[in-house]
Amino acid sequence: MVHFLKQGFVIACSVNVLVTASAWKSWGAQKTNKQDAVGSTAVPVERGIELASRGYCGAALPILKKALPRLTNQQLRYAAAMASAQCGMSTDQEDTVVESLLVLNREFPQDPRVLYITTRYYSELANRTAHRLLDSSPSSAEAQQLLAESYQARGQYEDAIAKYRKILEQYPDQPGVHYQVGQLILVKPLTPASAAEAKKEFEAELTVNPGSPTAEFMLGDLALRAQNNDEAIKHFIRATELDVGLPQPYLGLGMALNAARKFPEAIQALKKFVALEPRDPAGYYQLAIAFSRTGNKEEAERQMALQREAQKNWNAQPGLEEDLMQPH
């Protein structure tokens, strides 16, 4: 059993056989079906699946790789892709694992078993890659960042900050490090001193990495909290220019524009946010404010109704915004 730390939680991963004979039968495969829809015999595929379930991956994978692209029977494709993913993990063939998971997630996107093994296998692949990094380049900035992130994931924030600062001593131009320090400073209760310290880190990140939309977003967020709306608007606009697909800067921009009483401009920004994040009730709430202040009471009421509906279904997990705003 191995454990991979990511974003503050632990995923336990073990590579084992997930495609068993009973699982295959539960999908309704019938031995009497001699051919699948393209006319190829199904028996060799079933043989490959059986071999995989018994751990004979060396013999199973050539059969599965040859058969899978030609199969149109969904039951066979499901079982063959599952077996192929399992054997790819067992034999350290990462390309086989990824290709199989892509097939499964494309064709069976809501299947619980597919979602389960995708979580486990990608976590295990990440774990293996991390070990390769630490083994091959232990003194690299990237390896040191990985160790700092492990402190961060365990909630050892002071240790993480110390590790990040040590990285900067050796690699002062490493992108993403100042950003992480700034984020960790903001874990503590916000004070004028901690806000100023975090702002300094995000500004330093932009010196190293001028194209960082997340650093611009955080500077905008700090300015918004300080009720410096003009500065917030400037940073949020810059963040949206750097990454048009990042949702949070549009919400921040809409809030800052609302606070500055620039309601028509706020509506445009907030419409972009709800298009990217339709489940988040905050966008509808801010839109309701903007429409109300422009005199469009009917649309404001409609947005409030959307906000209430979204609120009922809103199940944001801890760390959601942090996940969306990872440095890049």
Alpha helices, DSSP H only, in the chain? 21-26, 43-53, 57-67, 74-90, 94-107, 112-136, 141-153, 157-170, 177-185, 192-208, 213-225, 229-242, 247-259, 263-276, 281-293, 297-313, 320-324
Write out the chain's pLDDT in tens, 328 residues.
334 333 333 333 334 444 444 444 444 444 434 444 333 445 688 999 999 999 999 999 999 999 999 998 999 999 999 999 999 999 999 999 999 999 999 999 999 999 999 999 999 999 999 999 999 999 999 999 999 999 999 999 999 999 999 999 999 999 999 999 999 999 999 999 999 999 999 999 999 999 999 999 999 999 999 999 999 999 999 999 999 999 999 999 999 999 999 999 999 999 999 999 999 999 999 999 999 999 999 999 999 999 999 999 886 444 444 444 566 5
Residues 6 or more apart whose Cβ sits within 8 Å of residue 242: 211, 212, 213, 216
Q: List the structure tokens of 62.
A: 């050539």
Q: Who's near 276: CB < 8 A, 6+ residues apart? A: 245, 247, 250
Q: Which of 226, 210, 281, 217 is nearest to 248 (CA)?
A: 217
Give dist(CA 268, CA 240) in Å, integer.
13
3-state secondary structure 273-327: HHHHCCCCHHHHHHHHHHHHHCCCHHHHHHHHHHHHHHHHHCCCCCCHHHHHCCC
Amino acid at site 257: L
Q: List the domains of the chain with CATH numbers.
A: 2-135 (1.25.40), 139-208 (1.25.40.10), 211-328 (1.25.40.10)
Q: Please indicate, yes or no, whether the overall pTM of this predicted structure exceeds 0.85.
A: no
Give the position of tokens 């077996």. 83
Least Cα distance to 274 among 284, 265, 266, 264 occurs for 284
H-helix or E-strand spanning residue 12:
strand 9-13
Structure tokens at 20: 């068993």
Q: Which two tokens stand for residue 271?
A: 């419409």
